[in-house]
Amino acid sequence: MNNEQHRTIQLSPSLMTMDLDKFTEQITFLNSKVNSYHVDIMDGHFVPNITLSPWFIEQVRKVSSLPLSAHMMVTDAPFWVKQLIAVKCDYICFPSEVANGVAFSMIDDIHAAGLKAGVVLNPETQVDIIKPYLDILDKVTIMTIDPGFAGQRFLESTLSKIVELRQIRDEMGLSYHIEMDGSTNLKHWKMIADAKPDVYVIGRSGLFGLTDNIEDSWSQMVDEYERSTGYRFDNGVFRSDD
């Protein structure tokens, strides 16, 4: 069985889209199912929305020991990097669009704290912009929708950046994870799987909003993925039916 038939895919639920009145119930169930949690940090300036914060990360820590990945949508990235280092967020991912002149210092600060550094590319931003520091990143997140709000239109053209990043990683012998974020659901599972990202950020349309019960929603998500891609889910590993 080759690697295309036996691939480990990391799943990272977006906690912005969960039912906050079922916070403990949902995270307790997912703790044994997923690899990490995705936490959106928005300042109301980079995008017209304000959402989760470093304080929220501390609350998740009370009910989960899984890695937490912060996706910053902020204009003052160095300020928020310091806040996220203070709460020891496992992955700290800054927007590439505001990183010019501070990218290396932010990555160095994150690594010096023993944490992992990531960058996020919005739909209009090309991979070339991060090539100067791509070799020292731990993760690259490709936005497949416009940032700021859940439920926006899926932009299929962004998947080519995932393919490009895989090619660069193979050619240069790098080890960063490639993550995709946005409208990860039944309608798009097949094309996402074909692009082969390492990490799927799953939100309301792909998980939390499927049913009123997290266990049923999880079962439906797995079933939809298997039916649409031809892969089967087996303890965190997607296996080809071939």
Q: What is the mean pLDDT of residues 50-61?
A: 85
Q: Of these residues, 40, 43, 138, 198, which one is catalytic?
A: 40
**Mean of per-residue pLDDT scores for the chain:** 90
For residue 69, which of 144, 169, 179 has the smallest C-alpha distance? Answer: 179
Q: Of these residues, 43, 138, 181, 198, which one is catalytic?
A: 181
**154-164, pLDDT tens digit by residue?**
999 999 999 99
Q: Annotated catalytic, 223?
A: no
The beta-strand segments (E) located in the chain are 6-8, 10-13, 37-42, 68-73, 91-95, 116-121, 139-143, 177-181, 199-202, 231-234, 237-240
Q: What is the mean pLDDT of residues 95-110?
A: 97
Q: What is the dihedral of CA 60, 70, 204, 21, to 10 degrees?
A: 30
∠ CA 224-229-230, rounded to 5°: 105
CATH number for the domain whose boundaries are 6-240: 3.20.20.70
What are 233's two structure tokens?
């889910």
Q: Annotated catalytic, 181?
A: yes
**Owner of token pair 């049923």:** 216
